[in-house]
Amino acid sequence: MQEKGRSMVEMLGVLAIIGVLSVGAMSGYAKAMFKYKLNKQAEAMTILLNNAIQLQPNPPETGLVFYSELLSKLNLLPDGIKLSKVETDYLSDIFDNRIWYFAYPTNYGIGYELNVSRDGREICQNLINVYKQNADILRSISTDRFYTDDNDESGWGDSNRFYGKDYCSKSDKCIANMTLDDIDTLCNSCLEDSVRCRFYATWQ
């Protein structure tokens, strides 16, 4: 008795099912990897913030000074954050977003420039949650948007600010009291219709 082989239609159906399952598996893997990177970012930014606050070198008498390279030389950069080989004033994280440790005569801070992408909001929310957990040691967090695609610094604008525990009065917006809506609004206001979005966390 002659056995019948599978028809071309049946084979195409099997291949289609395999394709759908493969796409689903890849999508699930990508989501899991992104979640893993968010957790690594939160851990690294928490360590970086606390290391920077403990280091706190003498502030400049005038102007702006960068201390990112000093953190690297003292081996105070956590896993997932590295010093730029080209611009040594800057660091980068697991998402290749730019970070810098800076000081003015009156305060210290960490700057963070978000890539305006589909993942930008989740990275922004992740960053704010790190700062919310450290509200007791921060002076403020704020954002800036950059509207143009050139290097004209006058393109920065639209700042929003929340204050840390010791700097938050009744009329101020407090980091510790930020709601999910506050976080969404802050991230959206920085990322929407802008070319670049910067985040600053400062302390005394």
Domain boundaries, the chain: 40-203
Question: How would you write the pLDDT of the chain (204 residues) with one tens digit per residue?
Answer: 555 555 776 677 666 677 666 666 666 788 899 999 999 999 999 999 999 999 988 889 999 999 999 999 999 999 999 999 889 999 999 999 999 999 999 999 999 998 777 788 899 999 999 999 999 999 999 988 776 555 555 544 556 889 998 898 877 889 999 999 999 888 888 888 766 788 999 998
**End-to-end distance of the chain based on CA atoms, in angstroms?**
89
Distances (CA, A) of 116 to 113, 123, 196, 204: 9, 10, 6, 30
What CATH code is assigned to 40-203?
3.30.1690.10
Structure tokens of 24? 């689903």
What region does 42 belong to: left with phi over 0, alpha with psi -120 to 50, or beta?
alpha
Can you give the pLDDT at residue 83? 96
Can you give the pLDDT at residue 53? 94
Q: The whole model's pTM is what?
A: 0.80
